[in-house]
Structure 1
Amino acid sequence: MQVSFLQSIKDISEDTWDSIIQSNYPFLKHSFLKTLETTNCVGKETGWLPFHLVVKEGIKVLALMPLYVKTDSHGEFIFDWSWADAFYRNGLEYYPKLVSAIPFTPAQGPRLCLLNSEQRTEISKAIKEAIEVLSSESGISGMHILLPNKKELVPFKESGFSIRTSYSFHWFNNNYKNFEDFLLDLTSRQRKNIKKERQKVLDQNISIEKIQGGNITDEIWAQFYKFYQLTYLKRGMRPYLNLDFFIEISTLIPDSLLLVMAKDSSNRFVAGALNFFDSDNLYGRYWGCLKEYDSLHFETCYYQGIEFCIEKELKKFDPGVQGEHKVKRGFWPIETYSAHWIKDTRFRKAIEDFLKQEAKQIKRYNRQCRSLLPFKSSVNIKTI
């Protein structure tokens, strides 16, 4: 069993990569990762250097992982800046590090993809051993696997990774027939609040259009990109993605894209929210607006997504990280995870202790959030 690394996703064929992935999770498709590279959204100048991991037996590919060499912690959303500071205060280098994640995309999904799932433990061990060798030879401080599916955690934990608990907010489809059916699961007070928020959007003479991938023209992308840019510029940041990325990805995976655009009374686009979806899940990703409109963010980013999930019979809606305001709108607090291996044994132990305490705080926080959920006590929703 040999572990090797690719400095570009183009070094492996799309057929080989996607056949091992065996998932319609859109962010792990060869075309998605390739577009990040070809539009220069990842690369030397961005702090994300492709270093995708391949496990082979002879010429047979057994496993794949999306992997990057990181020279900072931007665009990860599992925050470790304090770890880097602690390293520097002690005269150590935290960067470069290895990160298995989808750049700029805090959406839980597969990370270690296997030809044969029965080999998960064996392959996880082989990867850990290869990373240890690489770290000793290259100065890599450690490896971080961000937001994997839960089933991937145990083999990595057994091989020496520390598990970090985080949280997100997800909406679950309780076999709803329509949006009103969803509202019937809520308490009377919150049902009225949501209806008021939706009415406020109409009262401002704003209309909503849902546009799927193949119908998004370059002109519409240009409008959306203005909104996307403004979200970052308001915070004094540069956008992670460029317009070329959005235009290109819509030609490659059009059946995975949903763009929600808002127009004012003069038929001018004023806001937009981009979602990706697969056969089971909707993923809210990017939002922006020309100016603030009362309740428009909730309408475009949450309620339109919920309607789409019900219409397409999708099981789950992940609207993006953070945001306690999502709870009273029907989004459940869900634990998410990451796995971390640190080369330096002193810091490995310190981080392990920190993560244990942090996990307790996260569990308390999730319990508090669940107490604020607006569902009737008689409602039983299966969360996954």
Structure 2
Amino acid sequence: MKTPDEAPTSPAELQVRPLTGLAQIPAARWDACATSAETLAGGDETHNPFVSHAFLSALEDSGCVSRRTGWLPLHVSVEQEGTLLGVVPCYLKSHSQGEYVFDHGWADAYERAGGSYYPKLQVSVPFTPVTGPRFLIAPGQDPDLARAALVAGLRALRQETEASSIHVTFMQEGEWEAAGALGFLQRVDQQFHWDNAGYADFEDFLGALASRKRKAIRRERRDALANGITIEHLTGAALTEAVWDAFYDFYVDTGARKWGRPYLNRRFFALIGERMPERILLVMAKREGRYIAGAINLIGDVALYGRNWGCAEDHPFLHFEVCYYQAIDFALARGLKRVEAGAQGEHKLARGYRPVLMHSAHDIADPALRRAVADYLVRERDHVAEAADVLGTMTPFRRAAGSDKEDDA
């Protein structure tokens, strides 16, 4: 078997095939790579719904990702002597929107210096700040050799497209380490996740919190539903077009206020409702017979992934109830190990979510820009690590088992 140093790194040794859409590869072949033991090694999730053919193709077939939106699909398939080594979800980008790992400062500096930062290659799931595999390795392939080949394929594509750089975002930590060994610059950020420590139910989870925090959450949950609001968990066949219509109205309102233009259209939600209904959870709030708020989650084998939220009426703490507490309820009922509630939000700490590091890797062609970014990332990693340490002391969990003394002051 070849060592990593002997892995093929020249495009001449590889067959690098850019795919301008998921329609160019059978779903079964893509999904076999996305769920292979080689791809998932090092993580605990066995089915990440965001890298599935169903999810990614729905983004394309709905027109949410396209040349027009600045997300031109250019997925990478790499073969050697007719054997598939792996695939990579990749997009040729003409901007830096919808990524959640911000490089606007790098782009501005490079443009001011006379360079062209765009196009760039983005290896990610569009509009989705969720960690998952990015180097999808074919079953039976050596992971180190396959990753080296996929990186070689990406670099060949960067040259062919005259892209300034390659950005691999929200990647698994093992992939991040491998990318660093292959010459990528390494970046970290943080999110907030809820971990299931074997709780029997929500009350059992509350029992792990300091008394003052426990009382606050009980009060929030009570107040959120005080105006006759009820909550529904909808998945599978319950995801009717009427339900999607209601949720989409909420999504559009929130998206318009956050980004000016929502990233996802109504057809996208219809397509994922058709193609992967058992992997979707809508948490919908209803009052006086009509839906007034909702949040969409995707269901993995191990984790629940919270995504978008919106509402037609404002009620105290309803956002926390629909997005965070109901997600915990569902995860506990399903025996899931984790809830990932999306990007940002230090307010999640008080609701039992903990800081977790996110990983991205960046390969920049221009030596001067690469040096400047590398210097910046050293300082940024130190800052993120320090912030995570501080935030880790601000969780609502009891400091000593059986003691709520810190809340009695």
- State the TM-score bracket (shorter-chain normalisation): over 0.9
Partners of 1:132 and 1:343 within 8 A in 2: no
Deviation at 1:133, TM superposition (A): 3.5
d(CA) in 1 for partners of 2:300, 2:151: 31
* SS, match of residue 165 in structure 1: strand
Structure 1 residue runs of 5 or longer lacking an equivalent are none
User: Counterpart of 2:16?
Assistant: 3
After TM superposition, list the pairs within 5 Å mapping 1:94-113 onto structure 2.
94-113=117-136
What residue number does 2:218 align with?
195
CA distance in 2, matches of 1:349, 1:362: 20
**What is the TM-score when the length of structure 1 is the normalising length?**
0.96
- 8 Å Cα contact 2:87/2:150 also seen in 1: no
Aligned equivalent of 1:287, options 292, 300, 309 = 309
- Relative to structure 2, which stretch is displaced further, 233-242 or 267-276? 233-242
Indicate the residue corresponding to 2:240 in structure 1.
217
Partner SS state of residue 233, structure 1: helix
In the alignment of these two chains, the number of paired residues is 379
| Secondary structure in 2 matching 1:247 | helix
Deviations 1:281-338 (A, max 9, x none): 0000010011321000000000000000100000010010100000011001001100
Residue pair 2:223, 2:317 contacting (<8 A) in 1 also: yes
How many angstroms does 1:134 deviate by? 3.3
User: Offset of 1:153 from its aligned partner?
Assistant: 1.5
1:113-171 deviation line (CA, Å, top 9, x unaligned): 11257623323333333333333343200100001111112221111100100100000
**2:328 pairs with 1:310:** no
Kindly indicate whether the alpha-carbon contact (under 8 Å) linking 1:3 and 1:126 is maintained by their aligned counterparts in 2: no
Instruction: Output the CA distance in 1 between the equivalents of 2:162 and 2:153.
Output: 14
Question: Compared with structure 1, are the counterparts of its residues 360 and 379 closer, same or farther at alpha carbon in structure 2 (3 Å cutoff)?
Answer: farther
Q: CA deviation at 1:56?
A: 1.1
Say which of 348, 361, 373 aligns to 1:326. 348
- Render the CA deviation track for 1:58-105: whole Å, top value 9, x for unaligned: 332111111111111111000111111011100111110001100101
8 Å CA contact 1:124, 1:159 repeated in 2: no
Whether contact under 8 Å (2:86, 2:150) holds in the other structure is no
Q: Residue 69 of structure 2 corresponds to which residue in structure 1?
A: 46
After TM superposition, list the pairs within 5 Å mapping 1:228-307 onto structure 2: 228-235=251-258, 237-264=260-287, 266-307=288-329
Q: Does 1:341 align with 2:363?
A: yes
Stretch deviating more after TM superposition (81-90 or 56-65) = 56-65
TM-score by length of 2: 0.90
Could you tell which deviates more after superposition, 235-244 or 66-75?
235-244
Quick check: 327-336 or 149-158, which moved more?
Answer: 149-158
Paired letter, 2:47: N
What amino acid sits opposite 1:17 in the alignment?
Answer: W
Aligned to 1:370: 392
Structure 1: how far apart are the matches of 2:376 and 2:66? 32
- Structure 1: how far apart are the matches of 2:186 and 2:23? 31
Q: 1:379 to 1:125 in 2, by over 3 A?
A: farther
Q: Report if aligned partners of 1:214, 1:251 keep a CA contact under 8 Å in 2.
A: no
In structure 2, give the amino acid aligned to 1:263.
K
Stretches of structure 2 lacking an aligned partner (at least 5 in a row): 1-13, 36-45, 403-409
Name the residue aligned to 2:80. 57
> Which whole-Å CA distance do the structure 2 matches of 1:250 and 1:259 have between them?
11
Moved more, 136-145 or 76-85: 136-145
Whole-angstrom distance in 1 between the partners of 2:119 and 2:105 = 15
TM-superposed CA distance for 1:379, in Å, is 5.7
Task: Confirm or deny that 1:79 pairs with 2:102.
Answer: yes
**Contact 2:233–2:283 under 8 Å retained in 1:** yes
1:134 maps to: 157
